[in-house]
Chain A
Amino acid sequence: MKSFKYADEKISEKEILIAVPSMVIGVGILSMPKDLASVTIAADGWVPLLIGGLIVVLITWMVAKFASGFANQTFLTYASSITTKPVAIVLTFLFAVLFLLITAFQVRQIADISKQYLFDRTPLEVISLAFLLVVLYAVSGSRAGLFRLNVMFLPIILFIALSVFVFNLGWFDLGNLLPVFKTGFNDYVKGLNTIVTSYLGFSILWFYIALVDKPEKAPKMAALGMCIPVVLYIMLFILCIGVFGREVTANLLYPTVELAKVVDIPGGFLERFESIFFVIWIMAIFNTASMALDVAVLAINSIFKNMKKVKILFILAPVVYIISMFPQEIVEVNSFGAVMSKSMLFYSVFVLVLLFVIAKVRGVKRDE
């Protein structure tokens, strides 16, 4: 088989605007309202969502700003010029590992959720394998093609999220949002802690900024892109509280999926709205998983320059599959996700601080 080659592997800054929310919106939102509602009172969870969101937007902007200072250089190149080559290789490799874990986590989560709601008797292993194969197919193709898929899917995803919102307004009970601001400070911090998983994904910028045509516009676009999930999350969270009330939201495993199940379009011609919601949401998770895997491949490819991309993929795919099958039950999957996303966040911030400080100390020039 011949694979089709696009003219260039460059992406525009608008595609960064799309790629960031596509990466961030994934499985996190399906369970996020539950975790957040269980530590806050009434609808107060929007406060940590907003604060966490602003922090993440800021970090996104900083990462993009820093990376765009090294136009057309891969992470490995500029990291080695700032620190040393061996350190840079270790840093890159750790990123690759973390992104592989993200892929594995997404694959596992989507398999769990679709088994629960769609395929009752299909074994988990088969669902994950089928999903992973599709992801592999996407990643083995052109990188620019992946970005084009994002551009295609994101509007559909946002549209379906919006329709969930609109069709649920009929059940919305404003009284459920009261009382306001009764959550203690510690609980807000706990809330912040739980939403880290959902805001994950800006780390792709470390690697993708190198592909951007005009990197100087990228930071603004990346930060703008990050605002999309922040707004979406706050909307969906408040909707969950309004429709279910805090207690129920805190006890439903996937409140967002239940929201889609509640949708009852008048006229009865569309009774099973959640099936459409699922199809679309699997597209969102597909975007996340394929980009995470692609970044992992990109990172490893920058270490082993002579290896072919497809070959790396063939080595990584079984690893991802095995990791995704490793946790036994839902509690293990959740704690795996929590540990993975926190390490990703802290690692990204750590790398940012490390590179920034060393670059300042050693006076490495960034081309502004």
Chain B
Amino acid sequence: MNNRLLILLCCMIFLLSGCWDETDIEERGFVIGTAIDLAEDEDVKDNPMLKMTNQFVVPAGIGLPTGAGSEQEAFTNLSATGESFFEIIRTMSTTVGRAPYFEHLKLIVVSADVARQPDLFGGIMDLFLRDPEMRREIRVIISEEEAQSILEIKPETENLPIMYITNVMENTSKSAGLIEPVRMGEIHEYLLESQNYVIPKVSSSDDKVFFNGGAVFNGDSNRVVGLINGEEAAGLNFVKGKSIGGYIKIEVDNKLMVYELKKLKSNIEINTEDPDNITIDITIDTEGNIAEMFGQRSLLDKDYLSEIEQKINEKIERIANNTIQKAQEDIKLDFFGFSEILKRKHYDTWNEIKENWDQGDNIFANSTIKVKADAIVRTTGATDRVKDQGSE
């Protein structure tokens, strides 16, 4: 009896030791970044030809923190073209020894040329949402130049370009003109909700990347319809109450002064009583301190502080109005998310006007938008005055 059991157990070892989905970690090609471009020979087929560049990590190149040892680079970029990304990835697996593995994908760079094509952006994002291997935290950015070139920069501080770019992106809180990184999950929302959206825009020079402004997407056709620059992006952030920790430069008595934003809150009230003339009241409350000044006057003076606050308010209102003007007159699209507020707070009105909000009659472009800023200077830094007052 015992012998038979022993034989049975021995047989089970063979049956139980296998793993169907076994992949050695050495056989996996970890992709951490992807760039999407239009391929040059696009007129060959009916569907646009796309070029996908994947950045693979080369573990041997990462080496030790001291930097000693390996001369090898920490990454390789591989490109392939095709009509569908799945096809491209499969082609890539046959040419590279390691099959691309996307669970660690961090960033997708889409070239603006691709994003300008009608109805293509949604299709591009499809694979990255459909494939269970992909994560919803992948960040998406738009590049004005060839997206592939963004992956090819050689940063000084990091081994991997993608890590460098994501680190830079995390610093969006340092400047008001940077748009919050957009996650794949949010893109899924935007694609489904036909709401307009803005994706951060990147450019590169001298092995550095710069985030500046964003690309405005039309929610219906999901294509780029306009670009906004850094200052306009700041206005967008003020309206949405999203920029935490930017700064504002103002001039008081012809001297430069820098106001550091510590807290930003915006409150948007939409009055829909008259559907032909919708009024939107935006109140932007900020809190912060004086970070730097070139003047000499003492700040510990209530009147002077209110004057400074007044200047800050004017500046914020000007920046915000500037962006609103661009949205209403130039791009003619509501990318502030007012439609979302209408839908949430004025559902019945929204159902009536949604066809004509920023298309058709374009109620949005004709609505009255008022911005009011309310800035508070909490402290003046560690010192009151740094320079002598007497020179004047």
Interface positions of A (Cβ within 8 A of B): 41-42, 116-123, 126, 175, 178-179, 182, 244-245, 247-248, 251, 258, 261-262, 264
Contacts and interface: CB of A to CB of B under 8 A. Distances in A.
10 contacts: A175-B344, A179-B344, A182-B347, A245-B192, A245-B193, A248-B185, A248-B188, A258-B136, A261-B135, A262-B137
A251 B188 CA distance: 10
A250 B194 CA distance: 15
Given A123-B20, A251-B188, 13 more contacts: A116-B132, A117-B132, A119-B21, A121-B21, A122-B21, A178-B344, A244-B188, A244-B189, A245-B189, A245-B193, A247-B189, A261-B135, A262-B136
B135 to A, nearest CB: 6
A248 B21 CA distance: 30
Interface of B: 20-21, 132, 135-137, 185, 188-189, 192-193, 340, 343-345, 347
A41 to B, nearest CB: 8
A262 B137 CA distance: 7
Nearest to A262: B136
Contacts of B193: 245, 247
Contacts of A123: 20
Given A119-B21, A262-B136, A244 B185 contact: yes
Nearest to A257: B132
A116 B133 CA distance: 9
Main secondary structure of the interface of A (DSSP, over half): loop
A123 B20 CA distance: 9
Given A179-B347, A261-B136, A121 B20 contact: yes
Nearest to A264: B137
Contacts of A126: 20
A123 B21 CA distance: 10
Contacts of A42: 344
A179 B345 contact: yes
Nearest to B135: A261
Nearest to B188: A248
Contacts of B343: 179
A261 B103 CA distance: 11
Contacts of A244: 185, 188-189
A102 B31 CA distance: 41
A122 B189 contact: no
Contacts of B135: 261
The 9 closest A-B pairs by CB, nearest first: A178-B344, A122-B20, A247-B192, A179-B347, A119-B21, A245-B189, A247-B193, A182-B347, A248-B189
A245 to B, nearest CB: 5
Contacts of B185: 244, 248, 262
A166 to B, nearest CB: 18
Contacts of B340: 175
Nearest to A127: B20
Contacts of A245: 189, 192-193
A6 B319 CA distance: 77
Nearest to B347: A179
**Most chain B CB within a 10 A radius of its CB, from A116, A119, A245:** A245
B356 to A, nearest CB: 20
B186 to A, nearest CB: 9
A359 to B, nearest CB: 50
Contacts of A248: 185, 188-189, 192
Contacts of A247: 189, 192-193
Given A117-B132, A119-B21, A258-B136, A178 B189 contact: no
B229 to A, nearest CB: 28
A182 B342 CA distance: 14
A117 B103 CA distance: 12
B258 to A, nearest CB: 31
A42 B188 CA distance: 16
Contacts of A182: 347
A291 B343 CA distance: 45
A121 B20 CA distance: 7
